[in-house]
Amino acid sequence: MNKRILVAGASGYTGALAAQIVWDHPDLELAAATSRSDAGKRLDRLYPRYRVPIGLSVLDLDRLDGIDAAIVAYPHGAAAPTVAALRERGILVVDLSADFRLRDPDTYARWYGEHGAPELFGTGVYGLTELYRDQLREATLVATPGCYPTASVLALAPLAEQGLLSEVFIAAMQGTSGYGRSSDDTVHFSAMTENAFPYKTEGHRHRPEIEQELAALGSPAPVTFVPHLLPLDQGELSTCFATLGEPTSKEAIRSLYAKRYGDEPFVHVLDGPPNLRAVRDTNECHVYVTVEERGRVVAFAAIDNIWKGASSQGVQNLNLMLGLDETAGLL
Amino acid sequence: MNKRILVAGASGYTGALAAQIVWDHPDLELAAATSRSDAGKRLDRLYPRYRVPIGLSVLDLDRLDGIDAAIVAYPHGAAAPTVAALRERGILVVDLSADFRLRDPDTYARWYGEHGAPELFGTGVYGLTELYRDQLREATLVATPGCYPTASVLALAPLAEQGLLSEVFIAAMQGTSGYGRSSDDTVHFSAMTENAFPYKTEGHRHRPEIEQELAALGSPAPVTFVPHLLPLDQGELSTCFATLGEPTSKEAIRSLYAKRYGDEPFVHVLDGPPNLRAVRDTNECHVYVTVEERGRVVAFAAIDNIWKGASSQGVQNLNLMLGLDETAGLL
Amino acid sequence: MNKRILVAGASGYTGALAAQIVWDHPDLELAAATSRSDAGKRLDRLYPRYRVPIGLSVLDLDRLDGIDAAIVAYPHGAAAPTVAALRERGILVVDLSADFRLRDPDTYARWYGEHGAPELFGTGVYGLTELYRDQLREATLVATPGCYPTASVLALAPLAEQGLLSEVFIAAMQGTSGYGRSSDDTVHFSAMTENAFPYKTEGHRHRPEIEQELAALGSPAPVTFVPHLLPLDQGELSTCFATLGEPTSKEAIRSLYAKRYGDEPFVHVLDGPPNLRAVRDTNECHVYVTVEERGRVVAFAAIDNIWKGASSQGVQNLNLMLGLDETAGLL
Amino acid sequence: MNKRILVAGASGYTGALAAQIVWDHPDLELAAATSRSDAGKRLDRLYPRYRVPIGLSVLDLDRLDGIDAAIVAYPHGAAAPTVAALRERGILVVDLSADFRLRDPDTYARWYGEHGAPELFGTGVYGLTELYRDQLREATLVATPGCYPTASVLALAPLAEQGLLSEVFIAAMQGTSGYGRSSDDTVHFSAMTENAFPYKTEGHRHRPEIEQELAALGSPAPVTFVPHLLPLDQGELSTCFATLGEPTSKEAIRSLYAKRYGDEPFVHVLDGPPNLRAVRDTNECHVYVTVEERGRVVAFAAIDNIWKGASSQGVQNLNLMLGLDETAGLL
């Protein structure tokens, strides 16, 4: 029997996409999609490009019988209390917010402020599937990574795991869906077309998340991270410059990548630079690595920021949590 | 000595552009640029693509000494009271709103509701410069046309003046700047990119304005008008289909257009279809007319909707009102 | 056993998409994809956004054993001889070119020149599935309509079938994929971004095709047709103005549309204006009709020009020819 | 009396823009605009967005009497022989190609091949105006920098001049006008919209040019350089990561930048991240610098790649060569 899934916060970009993926999923049933701001509207009216002909309701924590798992697509800070309430009712949770990604409370406090469910802090499994697959099978609470960490960490993981990374500089670029639906002047078409710019240049919250994961893999390297907004909808590219602790040949590095990702269903190591159109509307991550003549590495990863960078990776994790095939509903 | 100009409502798209054009104008001085919502901000911070290094202030009707003329870029309905107050102080006014465009009060009431300064209703000169040049030289209050009427009426005027128009069907297309700065989901880059659609298909307020002007020229033809939103910033194209009361050859019609617009500094009759890039950031209107084999006419006009369709046409009119060269600051 | 399909001309936009749809189709097997210009390249390298990991070969008419049907995606004029050769070998053919769409040889000669297989002229079934479903089940040669006729005729068919159409004026808009892959300056990103324009204003080859089909349905109305190019990739919108032979109420017309398309799997009658994003990458056609106060009708249809306007409609027809479910591989 | 200027190669993007800037220039006269491929066409027909109503002719080196200076906008390699011929006739030359930018013949040979006028190799002044202003006043041959070096070197020059740069990593992004007019599939609108990607990841010819200039300023730092193509027309952003030889405070660095560029008419040091729309169609370079917590510097520069990155910087240099005000025709 299909598992019954709740998508909470389904009127935002990642929540709506999560609802669509669950709707199309052969082994899941979309039990409910909730939204405070757009309750009463049909999801396929709110997003004509999706095909989910159900109405949005207001989340009622007292009427969740028969829900097996929930995908929570709330803003950072707002997610934690709802996640806690869902967990209390025994519902498996895939959280798309940042609330459970960081493992150091001081770092969380510095970048996000007070936590909304401190008793659960640090208990989530980090949902970068390719790194935490085994833990995810047992997880009850998963913190799906941010889009920038997904691409950046996948770009660098084969080096990080070998303890090779010395210094890391990342120029990351993303489309306007990463800015969220709650639009302001910045993402007005008239402001964004023919434009591009770096932002949060004094520090972005995804930087400590990237450092946490590279360190966990074996390379506690300092990361400088600069995000840019591009005039496109969906897509995220991480261009990662790295110096290595010891000289390593291009061949050795490429072989490392080929071996590391050879069996991955969604991470593909290319033999040339990736592009965003090739991963759009997919759960794929396209990786390419090269070494320039003085030995510095440049590693690239391209994903769709609201798919592999959020909603479809959430479902990838949900598949594991529910004992389904990891790729179900995602190919 | 340069005339001192107030731009009221300078934080919106057309007001900000009007401030820029006045700022660059050799014979005008930008005395003040006002905005309620963005008071205190510098205009060139709000719009980095413009170059007006002055701060926005709140309009104070008691401190307008030395202002010769004002360009009012308020929303429809909100403009009329301010226009009236400015006129009471003897200030010449170019209004960019719809408040003084229509000449029939019932039509105004139907499409816009109650008027904010009924004592002035009908006293403005319609600011389609090429049609009302003589009256504009004497005008104290000018109602700058909407962007759609500017292009559509210029596309059809040579036929309308000859009483030739029988039936008119207009498909008009505009970029997102026509939607205004106060963005909502519709013009979020993620919603608008790779999209296009008709809107206000049950009736758009510019239709009665177009009919009013075609009738005034001599052709009281019924107009069907459908606007479309395109994924671009600035630009408006009117594709006008017309049947004629009497058969007229393509040569005769083209000669009519050539003669009518031959001396116009800003209206250019092309020998092929116009395109939006060619008129962007200019006060130009590019017109093309053809006649298909059964005698139906297709007339096209392309303008920049916030230039000739609003702000620069406002300055074109202001030039006339102030006794300046009509093209001053606009070439 | 799956039917074995050849896609001839798979390096162009519609051919490559046809190959992708066949590749994903549960009941079809992509036996070969051919291209003269790109032979030897893998299709998924040529189009990274597609997922067809096979190499392009040169078409060899002597080695077609085991091919059940072919989709021919050649340029107009070039298709006919290959279509004839395939038919001689008993292979069912879905032609995506214009070579077999018109039924009057003089009209063909006027718009396209000499025909490449005159013995087959007029023998194809016109592949607008919703109009010719029964004939398509028996067809051996199908002429898939142009993208503009698909949208325009579907927008007007319910009126045409009742003999109601009197005069028709169509403003149609399309993205750059309709221009084809063989790029020139016109569709360079730098030329097309922030641009839009009408083209072929003196007559477009899709106009006689639209007139042929409206007449066949019962309304031999004269059509004026103007296409426009928009700054987007995939999408086609037809805005059709029509006068009727007899006054008909909005309710009656809407009921006509609801009834006509109520059972269609791919044509959806909306209750508001369509948009292009909602049909992108689908075989759907979204239709909306309204009647303005003087009784003129405006009917809209939105499709994806390379899906329903070409390749997926080709597969829709192929499904019928092969006795498969019409929707197989297309939902 | 106005100086008479030849623009050779005026049918490409940078040549056409150079012709436009010369045409509008108060102290220059566009004596001729030449093009082999488009001879006979009017420039304003080829580029409707420009306003140069003259015909393109074929360059005739025997009929150059009365020409004071030339802007040569030929492809790399093709420029040198024409530059040599023009210099022989005593004509001042601003070359927009790469032929005279590098000062080391081996480096030139490695990246570009054989040189077309070896006798002139190394004799040009590098036309990054802000760095070589004095030499440019005396120059007879100027090599205008590439767009990437213009932005990247201006972003880093204040640090380079102090010998502070240790390691440099540059992620640079450019619009499709940088790809040139001779389009191929890559810059077809359908391929480029909603896309972005790194390219020439194994080494780009602008890297040695950047290293040459940083070394000349005092910092022979190794540079890793990765260019990216963005879905926009005009604009270039360089995001430069640098480690310093000695720790330097953010305040000290910002003061360095403020002082270095304080008097520059076209380089503006911002107090926040730059964006591409703000510099479009201008000769400006917007610079921003920050220092992250571990002392690494991130310096940004935004320019219009065909203006300050090519044609308008060419005219800026031409102004100096001709003894005109450096800003003439460029504000």
- Rounded CA-CA distance C155/C253 in Å is 12
Residues of D in contact with B275 (CB under 8 A): 48
Q: CA B279 to CA B174: how far, in whole Å?
A: 13
Beta strand pairing call for D125-126 and D141-143: parallel
The reply to whether residue B194 touches residue C292, judged by beta carbons under 8 angstroms, is no
- Cβ C171–B199 below 8 Å, yes or no? no
Enumerate the H helices of chain B as residue ranges: 13-24, 43-46, 79-88, 105-112, 129-138, 147-161, 189-192, 206-217, 250-261, 312-321
| pTM over the 0.80 mark | yes
The verdict on a CB contact (< 8 Å) between B201 and C241 is no
CA–CA distance, D58 with D36 (Å, rounded to integer): 5
Contacts of D45 in chain B (CB under 8 A): none
| Residue among B202, B226, B273 whose CB faces C197 most closely | B273
Q: What is the distance in angstroms between the Cα of B275 and the nearest Cα belonging to chain D?
A: 8
Q: Indicate which residues of D carry an active-site annotation.
A: 147
Residue from C67, C84, C23 nearest C312 by CA: C23
CB contact (8 A) between residue A188 and residue B181: yes
pLDDT of residue C1: 78
Residue D182 has pLDDT above 80, yes or no: no
Q: Which residues of B touch C292 (CB under 8 A)?
A: 202-203, 224
Give the residue from A311, A330, A325 showing the smallest Cα distance to A97: A311
pLDDT band at residue B226, thresholds of 50, 70 and 90?
Answer: very high
* The two structure tokens encoding residue C197: 């324009």
D194/A233 CB distance under 8 A: yes
D315 backbone dihedrals φ, ψ, rounded to 5°: -70, -35
C319 SS3 class: helix
Query: Are the Cβ atoms of B48 and D278 closer than 8 angstroms?
Result: yes
pLDDT band at C183 (very low <50, low <70, confident <90, very high): low
- pLDDT of B50 above 90: yes
Q: Quick one: tokens of A9?
A: 């916060």
Of B203, B226, B300, the CB nearest to C239: B226
Nearest residue on chain D to A277, judged by CA atoms? D195
* Beta strand pairing call for D197-198 and B92-95: unpaired
What is the Cβ-side half-sphere exposure of residue A293, based on CA atoms within 13 angstroms? 8
Of the listed C18, C71, C128, C147, which one is catalytic? C147
pLDDT at A276: 98
ipTM of the complex: 0.96
Are the Cβ atoms of B196 and C167 closer than 8 angstroms? no
Return the pLDDT at D40: 95
Q: Average pLDDT, stretch B297-306? A: 98
**CB pair distance less than 8 Å for A48 and C278:** yes
Q: Categorize the per-residue pLDDT at D1 as very low, low, confident or very high, splitting at 50, 70 and 90.
A: confident
Nearest to C201 among B191, B235, B298 (CB): B298
B281 → chain D, closest CA residue? D49
- Active-site residue, A147 included: yes
In the prediction, which pLDDT does A183 show? 64
Q: Among D193, D198, D273, select the one facing A300 at the smallest CB separation.
A: D198
Residue in A with minimal Cα distance to C271: A45
3-state secondary structure of B62: coil
- Please tell me the distance from the alpha carbon of residue A303 to that of residue A57, in angstroms, as a whole number: 31
Q: Which of A142, A147, A221, A301 is catalytic?
A: A147
Q: Would the CB atoms of C277 and A49 count as touching at under 8 Å?
A: yes
Q: What span, in angstroms and rounded, lies between the C-alpha atoms of A92 and A319?
A: 11
Is the CB of residue D303 less than 8 Å from the CB of residue D150?
Answer: yes
Give the pLDDT score at B1: 78
Is there a contact between D169 and D229 (Cβ–Cβ < 8 Å)? no
Chain D interface with C: residues with Cβ < 8 Å: 13, 175-177, 179, 181, 183-185, 187-190, 192-194, 231-234
Residue position matching structure tokens 């590219």: A237
Shortest distance between the Cα of D251 and any Cα of chain B, in A, equals: 23
> What are the tens digits of pLDDT across the range B98-150?
999 999 999 999 999 999 999 999 999 999 999 999 999 999 999 999 999 99
pLDDT beneath 50: ranges in chain A: none
The answer, yes or no, to whether residue D183 has pLDDT greater than 70, is: no
Task: Examine the pLDDT at B238 and tell me if it is beyond 90.
Answer: yes
Give the total residue count for chain D. Answer: 331
List chain B residues with CB under 8 Å of C295.
none
How close D46 gets to chain C, by Cα (Å)? Answer: 10
Tell whether the model's pLDDT for residue B184 goes beyond 80: no
Q: Which amino acid is at A296?
A: R
Let me know: does B186 contact A189? Beta carbons within 8 Å.
no
Residues of C in contact with D175 (CB under 8 A): 190
Note the pLDDT tens digit of each residue in C191-218. 999 999 999 999 999 999 999 999 999 9
Which residue type occupies A38?
D
The answer for residues whose C-beta is within 8 angstroms of residue A186's C-beta and 6 or more apart is A179, A192, A229
Contact B231 C233 (CB under 8 A): no
Would you say residue B183 has pLDDT above 70? no
pLDDT digits (tens, 9 = 90+) for D77-117: 999 999 999 999 999 999 999 999 999 999 999 999 999 99
Q: Give the number of A-D residue pairs with CB atoms closer than 8 Å.
A: 133
Percent of chain D, pLDDT > 70? 100
**Residue A22 pLDDT:** 98
Mean of the per-residue pLDDT values for chain D?
96
d(C-alpha B320, C-alpha D81), whole Å: 54
Residues B9, B34 contacting (CB under 8 angstroms): yes
- Are the Cβ atoms of A48 and C280 closer than 8 angstroms? no
Chain D partners of B49 at a C-beta cutoff of 8 Å?
277-278, 280
Q: Is B300 in Cβ contact with C198 (below 8 Å)? A: yes
Residue A312: phi and psi, rounded to 5, are -75, -35
pLDDT for the residue A219: 97
| Distance (Å, whole) CA D50 – CA D45 | 9
Q: In this predicted structure, what is the pLDDT of residue A99?
A: 96
Extract the tokens encoding C192.
């097309």
| A–B CB contacts, 8 A cutoff, strictly below | 61
Which of C44, C47, C49 is best to mutate for the A interface (most A CBs within 10 A)? C49
Report pLDDT digits (tens) over C79-108. Answer: 999 999 999 999 999 999 999 999 999 999
Residue to test with chain B: of A190, A276, A281, A304, most B Cβ within 10 A: A190
> Dihedral (C-alpha) C231, C232, C234, C237: value to the nearest 10 degrees?
-60
